[in-house]
Amino acid sequence: MRKKKPLSPTSVSFSNHVDRATKLEEYLWNEFTFCANRLDLDVAGMKGDFIAIKLLCLNVFTMTTTSSLYLWCSYLVMERYESMFLASAVFSIQWVGPIVIFGPINWLFQSFPSRKIIGSAVMVIVGFLFVLFFSSEDYVPFLVALVVGTCEVIVKVARLIVIKRFVPIQQAGRVNSFSASGQFIGGALGGALFAMIVFDPSGLLILICSLLLLLASLISISLLPHESSAMSMVPYTPAFQQLKAVSNDIWANKDLLKALFGLVAVVALIQGFHNTARIGLPLFHWSGDEEMIGLLQTQSAIVTTLGAFLYIFIDRKFGGAKLLTPASILIAFSLIAVGGVADPISGFIIYAAMIFSFEYVFMLYQATVIKTVDQEKSADIFSCQYLMTNIALSSFTLLCGAMAEAIGYFTTSVLFVVGFGVAIAYSRPKKLID
């Protein structure tokens, strides 16, 4: 029989370092737990808070990089082709990958620990960051946006799975909101990172900063909780069969069905409108320029972060659904108003109110889904959630753009408000989210 090749000294040394770090982390946590129990502190709650901070850091570092990469890819396409349509296609193509490979993504989370999956996704982003910097082929920006968009969804799904598996149910909504705020902070910082292209057209500064951010992401991943070592590779099931099984699970749980419908509908309608309006309103409706687009993007990133923290505060003090009705009404009125206002100052204020309220409602529905999902089926449900969201979001983004061009933003916003009202009315199970 052929002898098994021994591990190299380097491999053994690295493995020993990982084992020692894991044992040290477990030892320190056990010591901390012992001291906290002696002081009558809420250990479970503090563990949830620590996980939230780690996930927040992971989100900020990763999403800052991916946001700047989308802008960089779009900038390169715009520079080469001088086509607004192709530049916009770079943003849309990021949703295609997760839709096409839903089956493999779902299988990964059933077979391997979340930490390994996130780490692998980050390393793939590192590789394609170098591809974008060194390659001058015309198709590369589209390819990079496609791959990075897929990796970004993997990180988002993994974040939800970590919350479901390791955070107490009563804390799940707040931990999700706090950690998800890193996505919006990353969106704002990503725009600032891309602005370095003005000082260094070659993109070298963006490359260096992105590599440092991704290194910080890997450090954040190493600090996440360790999942059970009993996980084993499951047989791969074709995507159609997976979707059928997940659909049956969702249909069997009416509360989960309503929460998922509300989440997907709200995101598709409001964020779909936002994806088109953040460029169309400043340029065509408010007679602005590219600088106004940047200001609107920055404002949106700030108010979404504030909306996430509003949900955390309301959930802690009164219960998450306390402001669902007034927030929904504010979204409806501001959505109609922003489509009819021609003054940019008033438009910015109304737009901020709409995005702020939307973020609160989005966090509420996401928390509801997390609380309703069975832990054993969390990977299936969250993967399916992002599949449905990506399909709906890409469809409604294109629909909003076509409608705004044909009938104007005001009529489009009125029709979107009607759809939003129906979605909220159907998907509001009070006993579940209050």
Say if residues 59 and 224 touch (Cβ distance below 8 Å): no
CA distance 143 to 122: 16
- Show the tokens assigned to 420: 């939003």
CA 233 to chain centre: 26
Give me the pLDDT at residue 123, please: 93
Instruction: Tell me how many degrees the CA angle 315-320-324 measures, rounded to the nearest 5.
Output: 140
Residue type, position 18, single letter: V
Say if residues 412 and 402 touch (Cβ distance below 8 Å): no
Q: With left for phi above 0 and alpha for psi between -120 and 50, is residue 42 left, alpha or beta?
A: beta
Determine phi and psi for 29, rounding to 5 degrees.
-65, -40
Cα dihedral sign for 66, 69, 75, 80? negative
Instruction: Tell me how many degrees the CA angle 134-139-144 measures, rounded to the nearest 5.
Output: 65
CA distance 218 to 408: 45
Give me the pLDDT at residue 294, please: 66
Say if residues 259 and 269 touch (Cβ distance below 8 Å): no
What CA–CA distances, in Å, run from 212 to 64, 131, 152, 205?
11, 17, 17, 11
3-state class (DSSP) for residue 20? helix
Burial class (CB in 10 A: 0-12, 13-18, 19+), 143: middle
CA distance 173 to 282: 34
Exposure class string for 305-342: b at 16+ Cβ within 10 A, else e: bebbbbbbebbeeeebbbbbeebbebbbebbbbbbebe
Say if residues 212 and 73 touch (Cβ distance below 8 Å): no
Query: Which domains, from first to last, does the chain contain?
Result: 43-227 (1.20.1250.20), 237-434 (1.20.1250.20)
CA distance 249 to 376: 12
Smallest CA-to-CA distance from 285 within 348, 234, 372 is with 348
Contacts of 251 (CB under 8 A, 6+ apart): 257
3-state class (DSSP) for residue 209? helix
Say if residues 158 and 109 touch (Cβ distance below 8 Å): yes
- Show the tokens assigned to 284: 């065509």
pTM above 0.75, yes or no: no
Taking the chain (434 residues) in runs of 10, the rounded mean pLDDT of each run is: 46 46 51 48 57 86 88 80 69 73 73 84 92 86 89 85 78 75 77 73 86 91 72 58 76 83 88 77 72 73 82 75 83 86 84 88 84 75 79 81 79 88 77 46
CA distance 173 to 367: 4
CA 301 to chain centre: 13
CA distance 358 to 156: 19
SS3 content of the chain, % helix, strand, coil (to 5): 85, 0, 15
